[in-house]
Amino acid sequence: MAMNDNYSEATSESTCHVVTPFNMGKFHLSHRVVLAPMTRCRALNGIPSEAHVLYYTQRSTEGGFLITEGTHISPTAGGFPHCPGIYTEEQVEGWRKVVDAVHAKGAIVFCQLWHVGRASHPIYQPGWAAPISSTNKPISKRWSVLMPDASHAEYPAPRALLSSEIQEVVEHYRQAACNAIRAGFDGVEIHGAHGYLIDQFLKDGINDRTDEYGGSLANRCKFLMEVVYAVVSSIGAERVAVRISPAIDHIDATDTSPLALGLAVIERLNKLQEELGCKLTYLHVTQPRFIAREERGRQGIEEEDAQLMRKLRRAYQGPFMSSGGYTRELGTDAVARGEADLVAYGRLFISNPDLVERFKMNAPLNKYDRTTFYTHDPVVGYTDYAFLSEESGSNMPYGCL
């Protein structure tokens, strides 16, 4: 299957760098360095604050593209402390302030729609209920859930959704997408990755259902595609993106054939695009190396992982975003080889709000502090990392590119 039209452009020497322009559907980007969606736990009571306005605008550039942290679609969607939602009017208004500020800097921003499924605890659920999932099986004791007091606990047994309940969850995704558009977002990214609810239906290491949502690949893809169809029908395909991670085993999200799963999802997304006569904004796939480096839960073979990503990229008929452990050089290589149109950066963007400028100048990077990734301070580790313009004469530590 042929690559999309931007592939030939990306492989020429003059356009192989991550800071070169790219047309992402109707959005004209000035560079390919994307702010990745990252849980930051700064939304007290689930509502974006002025700290969020500053955090996102710090990382905004003219023609740049940002994806928000995972944003809860409903009261049952949470599994971390102080994460924002998009299902109440107060949350919509909070996000509107963020979006308006980002747009004022000329950037484009999507809201990531998130439901954690079984990756939760009754403390985060209405009425102390069990989290919902595709299964009744809990996440293994190898993993633990972060509690509101910063302690960790075992994941409890979830409650498998009844077949008759699934459409209500699909509706939550659809309504959340509509709320995001009302808040001014340019579009949404449906989070179908990393072991959360949609991934709990996709992966055969989790999904043990015997109804129309379990068993075959077609059945396991059904929930995701129902969500995608519902959202696209409400806000338009050109405002909708999907994230998957077929080879990532985060929180026990394993599959016996990651490539087959990824290709099955892509086949259905391509078919949807053909039916609609227009493309989704992009497909976002997480590199397998992300888990191998970060959690050591998957000792993958590097070339095998690279081949998997190449096959997924070649199969998808539209803009392709990749994330997971990228440096400036790895991102540039990915674009130069035609392996990605867009590269999403997480940790490097946390500690370098002016990451795009640093990449353009090949400047040194601030080191990030992992201990502040998930704390609740609205400043420390969130909006207090220095810009290049503030570092002249300082002794601030740098990390090599």
Cβ atoms of residues 283 and 316 within 8 Å: yes
Cβ atoms of residues 288 and 250 within 8 Å: no
- 302-315 and 258-276 are packed helices; what angle lies between their axes, rounded to 10 degrees? 20
Please give the torsion angle defined by the CA atoms of residues 320, 321, 326 and 331, in that order, rounded to the nearest 10 degrees: 50
Residue with the two structure tokens 């803009």: 319
Count Cβ atoms below 10 Å from residue 295 Cβ, excluding itself.
Answer: 14
Alpha-carbon distance of 193 to 242, in angstroms, equals 9
Cβ atoms of residues 192 and 248 within 8 Å: no
Indicate the pairing of strand 33-35 with strand 65-72.
Answer: parallel
Instruction: For residue 340, give both structure tokens.
Output: 């990605």
Residue with the two structure tokens 């302030």: 97
For residue 298, CA distances in Å to 47, 245, 247, 324 come to: 35, 13, 9, 14
Task: State yes or no: is 196 an active-site residue.
Answer: yes
Indicate the pairing of strand 342-345 with strand 320-323.
Answer: parallel
Q: Label residues 346-371 b or e (16+ Cβ within 10 Å = b).
A: bbbbbbbbbbbbbbeeebbbbbbeee
Alpha-carbon distance of 284 to 279, in angstroms, equals 14
For residue 121, CA distances in Å to 128, 205, 207, 210, 374 come to: 8, 21, 19, 25, 17
List 55, 196, 213, 282, catalytic entry: 196
Residues annotated as catalytic are 196
